[in-house]
């Protein structure tokens, strides 16, 4: 055999044996470290294992597997030496003739979507490689951008100790901007404006460009005014919100090419996990970082792109090969999680999407049980079926932690929680209130923020009266106005209150507050530890006394105060270079959620979660209630094909959370948002092959027999309007108007009608109610609905 070929085979056989625990496609992803690589990782295909082993290979062997070079003076003696070393499983670097170009850990950047994932990646790398792996940067997008901005923020007009605003801080600032602009938040809701501004930043649209784009749209002109004022104010406060972190990093790279070049040279190997969930700004950031010919590996699954509502652009992944013509695509299709039947169901659903990378998951796991599809007669019956199935399996030795109930809408959890509690089923809900979002915790964190940055007006306003200092809204608004007029921060105005006669009446209160803050700032600047500073805040403000006076869950809130002390101490102990700004940064970017439940026991708790919250998790047994039209998919999807595809991806994610058993449930009648609907089963159910389904159905129920007769609905409604006059309920003019409305809105069973959203339907029954009628209508596309006549906006088919 040719010596060169023999050498390459020996080298590759060695590396194959080093990573023998991986399958063929996983090894391919691990060994291909140069160029642009897209790893399409199906659900349960071991993508985390691939990411970790890829970095381990880079640190230990670099590009050795695909490196075509050969040692100088290659001969039979070297081949023989290699064969002996490989048989003994010694490290390949002992053969000095072979040059291994290991990759410097400082040149590797691995971006994930959660701090938890980043920390787990770092821990697993260090467990395998020791201190060498410590220099690999495993980070979220936001943490990575903060790291850059802390070094270079002054180049774009901020100081490096800028504050990070959370969602609540942003809401408060936008509310103030609307108030000062005279924009009614009932006409232009704050939530909508926050969403519009966030979307603009995700798309890298500045407030100047936003205004230019929407000059003729009155609604967006109002938003552009808010956007402009909001950006002006947070910049003056030396603050950035979450969207700004990425927006401003891209701005920095665009405006300062030398900074971009520095980071391109530093991070020569970039990996990004969950790439299907990236938004436009994140995609641009990555593209700039690697340039045209950088080494980039993206990992993800377009079939699991379910965050469009957060700005995710699945095309970032779908168009990867268009952006990088020489990109190498590797598909991980072997699933290690689910049974064959569960994968058949999941594949069958997702195959109906057109905008996707072609792939078919397969497994060596057993065939397993068929998919159980149960039709209940109500949402209560649906949950009782789940309770019975759980209890049956618990009696056979299962643990409560083996089960998960995943639902499309968070509102579905209400009835589940109630029935679980009554039935004695212990549960925990994923995604409760963040620890750092709790009122008392936010108060004390706000003190830290103002000590770190006295220009942080949002946090300053929060703590002025926490504890109460008798400075009312009028005084705080006056200080705010003086700050705006004099181009100063609120804190500077308060320090110089003697220069403002209008503040004389509250000078004592201002002085008391300043004395506390100046003392704390002085301690911080003298080098006080964060733990000592924290206890000084409690001592100087008498905050715990204040909580006890409030008498609102005092014990729990004091416990949270103590837990915060532990969090500060942990940060100080675990951080190499602890600082106040570093702690605040960690708090701002920490996604950790509290988990609540009713009671615990030795066998754990059933997990309750939205499907979105369950992504990345797996459970032996999964229940999916509410598989009905208008719930899954929701009504907003029926006329938007791309939205239906997003919902189908969500159904695929839900199904692939199950390892052993999958229960899908729907109800023929469901009370939701205060009204009863009779929805058709979800269209996604018809996409599952019948041969892998076991169908069951609850017993039929008897309809309520005491409903009013439908034949004389007009007479009864007229009587109810007339009787209202006797009790002074309505004026004659109102009654007259209602009479006209009644005549116009009276419908009869059998009539064909058109609803402006639901389309064509036929009236089945009319039940008279006071001042109205409850119509039961069978819609062609959406099944049977019960809606009130006066608010239905119906028109007769004959009047089209």
CA 277, CA 578: separation in Å to the nearest integer?
32
**304 tagged catalytic:** yes
User: Is 45 part of any known ligand binding site?
Assistant: yes
User: Is 199 part of any known ligand binding site?
Assistant: no
- Of the candidates 657, 659, 717, 785, the residue annotated as catalytic is 657
Quick one: CA dihedral 305, 308, 312, 313, positive or negative? positive
Give the residue from 304, 310, 296 showing the smallest Cα distance to 276: 304
User: Is 43 part of any known ligand binding site?
Assistant: yes
Quick one: CA dihedral 76, 79, 81, 87, positive or negative? negative
Q: Reduce the DSSP state of residue 83 to 3 states and report it.
A: helix
CA 524, CA 164: separation in Å to the nearest integer?
19
One-letter-per-residue 3-state SS of 548-570: HHHCCCHHHHHHHHHHHHHHHHH
CA 800, CA 791: separation in Å to the nearest integer?
19
Joined together, the tokens standing for residue 763 give: 């009236």
Under 8 Å between Cβ of 494 and 479: yes
User: Is 41 part of any known ligand binding site?
Assistant: yes
CA 268, CA 290: separation in Å to the nearest integer?
7
- Of the candidates 8, 12, 34, 48, the residue annotated as catalytic is 48
Residue 630: strand pairing partners: 634
Q: Reduce the DSSP state of residue 677 to 3 states and report it.
A: strand
**274 tagged catalytic:** yes
The secondary structure of residue 681, as a DSSP letter, is B
- Of the candidates 25, 169, 273, 382, the residue annotated as catalytic is 273
Give the residue from 61, 154, 134 showing the smallest Cα distance to 99: 61
Under 8 Å between Cβ of 297 and 271: yes
Q: Compute and round to an integer the Cα radius of gyration of the chain.
A: 32
CA 286, CA 298: separation in Å to the nearest integer?
10
Could you tell me what percentage of the chain is helix, strand and coil, using 3-state DSSP and rounding each to the nearest 5? 55, 15, 30
- Of the candidates 112, 222, 278, 304, the residue annotated as catalytic is 304
User: Is 42 part of any known ligand binding site?
Assistant: yes
User: Is 47 part of any known ligand binding site?
Assistant: yes
Q: Which helix (H) or strand (E) holds 796?
A: strand 794-796
**657 tagged catalytic:** yes
CA 151, CA 255: separation in Å to the nearest integer?
15
Under 8 Å between Cβ of 453 and 463: no
- Read out DSSP for 585-631? HHHHH------EES---TT--EEEEEHHHHTT--EEEEEE---BTBB
Residues with catalytic roles:
47-48, 273-274, 304, 657
Residues in the annotated binding site: 41-48
Residues in the annotated binding site for ATP: 41-48
């Amino acid at each position: 055999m040719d010596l060169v070929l023999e050498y390459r085979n020996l080298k590759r056989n060695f590396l194959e044996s080093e990573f023998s625990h991986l399958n063929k496609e996983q090894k391919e992803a691990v060994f291909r470290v140069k160029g642009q690589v897209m790893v399409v990782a199906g659900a349960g295909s071991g993508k985390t294992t691939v990411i970790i082993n890829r970095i381990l290979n880079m640190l230990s062997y670099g590009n050795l597997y695909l490196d075509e070079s050969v040692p100088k003076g290659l001969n039979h003696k070297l081949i023989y030496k290699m064969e002996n070393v490989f048989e003994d499983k010694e490290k390949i670097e002992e053969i000095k003739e072979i040059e291994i170009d290991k990759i410097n850990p400082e040149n590797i950047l691995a971006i994930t979507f959660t701090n938890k994932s980043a920390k787990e990646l770092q821990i697993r790398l260090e467990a395998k490689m020791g201190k060498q792996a410590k220099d690999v940067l495993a980070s979220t997008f936001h943490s990575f951008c903060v790291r850059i901005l802390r070094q270079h923020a002054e180049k774009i007009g901020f100081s490096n100790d800028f504050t990070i605003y959370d969602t609540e801080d942003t809401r408060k600032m936008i509310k103030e901007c609307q108030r000062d602009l005279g924009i009614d938040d009932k006409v232009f809701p704050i939530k909508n404006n926050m969403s519009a501004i966030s979307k603009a930043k995700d798309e890298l649209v500045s407030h100047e460009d936003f205004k230019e784009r929407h000059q003729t749209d009155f609604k967006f002109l109002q938003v552009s005014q808010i956007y402009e004022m909001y950006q002006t104010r947070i910049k003056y406060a030396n603050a950035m919100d979450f969207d700004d972190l990425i927006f401003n990093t891209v701005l920095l790279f665009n405006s300062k090419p030398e900074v971009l070049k520095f980071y391109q040279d530093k991070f020569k190997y970039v990996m990004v996990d969950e790439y299907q969930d990236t938004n436009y700004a994140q995609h641009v950031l990555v593209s700039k970082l690697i340039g045209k010919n950088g080494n980039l590996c993206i990992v993800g699954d377009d079939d699991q792109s379910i965050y469009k509502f957060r700005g995710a652009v699945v095309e970032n992944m779908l168009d990867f090969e268009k952006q990088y013509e020489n990109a190498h695509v590797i598909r991980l299709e072997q699933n290690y999680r689910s049974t064959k039947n569960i994968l058949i169901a999941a594949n069958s659903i997702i195959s109906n999407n057109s905008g996707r990378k072609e792939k078919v998951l397969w497994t060596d796991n057993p065939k397993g049980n068929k998919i159980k599809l149960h039709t209940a007669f109500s949402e209560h019956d649906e949950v009782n079926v789940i309770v019975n199935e759980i209890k049956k399996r618990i009696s056979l030795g299962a643990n409560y932690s083996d089960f998960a109930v995943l639902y499309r809408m968070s509102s579905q959890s209400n009835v589940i929680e109630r029935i679980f509690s009554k039935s004695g089923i212990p549960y925990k809900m994923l995604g409760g209130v963040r620890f750092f979002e709790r009122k008392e915790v936010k108060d004390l964190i706000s003190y830290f923020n103002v000590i770190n940055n006295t220009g942080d007006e949002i946090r300053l306003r929060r703590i002025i009266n926490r504890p109460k200092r008798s400075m009312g809204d009028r005084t705080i608004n006056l200080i705010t106005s003086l700050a705006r007029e004099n181009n100063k921060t609120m804190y500077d105005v308060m320090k110089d209150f003697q220069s403002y006669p209008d503040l004389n009446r509250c000078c004592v209160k201002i002085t008391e507050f300043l004395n506390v803050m100046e003392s704390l700032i002085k301690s911080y600047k003298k080098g006080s530890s964060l733990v000592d500073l924290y206890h000084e805040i409690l001592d100087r403000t008498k905050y715990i006394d204040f909580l006890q006076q409030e008498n609102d869950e005092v014990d729990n809130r004091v416990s949270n105060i103590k837990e915060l002390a532990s969090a500060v101490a942990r940060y100080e102990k675990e951080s190499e270079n602890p600082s106040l700004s570093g702690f605040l940064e960690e708090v701002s970017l920490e996604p950790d959620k509290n988990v609540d439940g009713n009671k615990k026991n030795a066998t754990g708790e059933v997990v309750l979660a939205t499907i979105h919250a369950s992504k990345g998790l797996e459970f032996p047994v999964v229940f999916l209630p509410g598989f009905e039209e208008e719930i899954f998919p929701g009504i907003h999807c029926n006329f938007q094909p791309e939205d239906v595809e997003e919902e189908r991806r969500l159904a695929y994610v839900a199904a692939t959370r199950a390892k052993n058993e999958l229960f899908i449930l729907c109800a023929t009648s469901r009370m939701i948002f205060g009204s009863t609907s009779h929805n058709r089963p979800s269209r996604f159910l018809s996409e599952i092959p019948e041969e892998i389904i076991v169908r069951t159905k609850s017993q039929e129920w008897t309809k309520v027999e005491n409903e009013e007769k439908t034949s004389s609905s007009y007479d009864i409604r007229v009587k109810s309007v007339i009787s209202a006059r006797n009790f002074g309920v309505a004026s004659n003019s109102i009654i007259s108007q209602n009479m006209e409305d009644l005549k116009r809105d009276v419908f009869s069973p059998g009539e064909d009608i058109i609803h402006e959203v639901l389309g064509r339907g036929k009236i089945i029954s009319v039940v008279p109610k006071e001042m109205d009628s409850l119509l039961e209508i069978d819609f062609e596309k959406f099944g049977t609905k019960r809606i009130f006549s006066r608010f239905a906006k119906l028109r007769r088919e004959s009047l089209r």
